[in-house]
């Protein structure tokens, strides 16, 4: 019994050390500050427009530090889309780092053009939605629409519209919409919404 107690204590120390070394990776901080939107562009959802004032939701992709991703091991975790996922397996598949392959908690990570790792989600990647905000349109507002209004297909070059053209498309019953991760906006130096650029997405 006396020999058993030190062995149990040593085992508890090892378990405690293993638990302390567990890493949970979180996304990098956003470069977009909703409280200081000046001379900046970002992805967004256009929720509404009333008398020249837009209600928008800022979208920020979940991006991860490459060194942290490459250092992950079984037993660690990754925080994505508001929850922590425990990592039970790590494999390489066609250039992707795949966590928990062939399970409900499967995560595909890929290296994007900004050299950070993003999470692939069906045809898109995962995003963080900020609380909705309001922003007034610039006097020089333009809408660049990359979608053919007749066919819904992608255009080689976007069509340029004024505010009236934007409202016509937004209020059309057969339009694909502006809230399906298919919009980029530009805020000018005065903090006003100067440009909405919409592009074709395969899930529209």
The ranges assigned to domains in the chain are 40-61+129-198, 63-124
Q: Quick one: average pLDDT of 159-165?
A: 96
Least confident residue range of 7-11, 42-46, 93-97, 144-148: 7-11
Residue 203 to residue 123: CA distance in whole angstroms: 8
Torsions phi, psi for 161 (to 5 deg) = -125, 160
Q: Which CA distances in Å does 91 have to 97, 100, 191? A: 6, 8, 45
Q: In the structure, what pLDDT confidence band is assigned to residue 177 with cuts at 50, 70 and 90? A: confident
79 contacts 119 by C-beta, under 8 angstroms: no
Residue 23 to residue 11: CA distance in whole angstroms: 21
Residue 169 to residue 144: CA distance in whole angstroms: 11
**DSSP sequence for 60-122:** EE-EE-HHHHHT--TT-EEEETTEEEE---EEEETTEEEESTTSTT-EEEEE-TTSSEEEEET
**Long-range CB contacts for residues 145-150, cutoff 8 Å, separation at least 24:** 145/169, 145/198, 146/197, 146/198, 146/199, 146/200, 147/176, 147/198, 147/199, 147/200, 147/204, 149/175
Closest by CA to 196, choosing from 177, 108, 204, is: 177
Residue 109 to residue 48: CA distance in whole angstroms: 33
pLDDT digits (tens, 9 = 90+) for 20-77: 588 999 999 998 999 999 999 999 999 999 999 999 999 999 999 999 999 999 999 9
Q: Is the pLDDT of residue 19 over 80?
A: no
Q: In the structure, what pLDDT confidence band is assigned to residue 17 with cuts at 50, 70 and 90? A: very low
Q: Which two tokens stand for residue 67?
A: 């060194």
């Amino acid at each position: 019994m006396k020999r058993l107690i030190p062995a149990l204590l040593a085992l508890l120390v090892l378990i405690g050390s293993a638990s302390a070394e567990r890493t949970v990776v979180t996304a990098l901080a956003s470069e977009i500050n909703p409280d200081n939107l000046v001379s900046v562009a970002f992805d967004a959802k256009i929720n509404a427009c009333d008398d020249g004032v837009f209600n928008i939701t800022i979208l920020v992709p979940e991006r991860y530090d490459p060194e942290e991703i490459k250092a992950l091991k079984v037993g660690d975790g990754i925080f994505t889309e508001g929850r922590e996922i425990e990592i039970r397996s790590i494999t390489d598949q066609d250039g992707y780092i795949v966590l928990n392959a062939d399970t409900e908690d499967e995560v595909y990570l890929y290296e994007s053009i900004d050299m950070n790792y993003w999470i692939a989600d069906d045809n898109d990647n995962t995003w963080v939605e900020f609380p909705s905000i309001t922003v007034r349109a610039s006097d020089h507002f333009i809408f660049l629409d990359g979608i053919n209004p007749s066919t819904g297909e992608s255009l080689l070059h976007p069509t340029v519209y004024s505010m009236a053209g934007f409202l016509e498309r937004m209020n059309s019953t057969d339009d694909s919409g502006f809230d399906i991760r298919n919009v980029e906006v530009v805020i000018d130096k005065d903090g006003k919404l100067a440009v909405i650029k919409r592009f074709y997405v395969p899930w529209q």
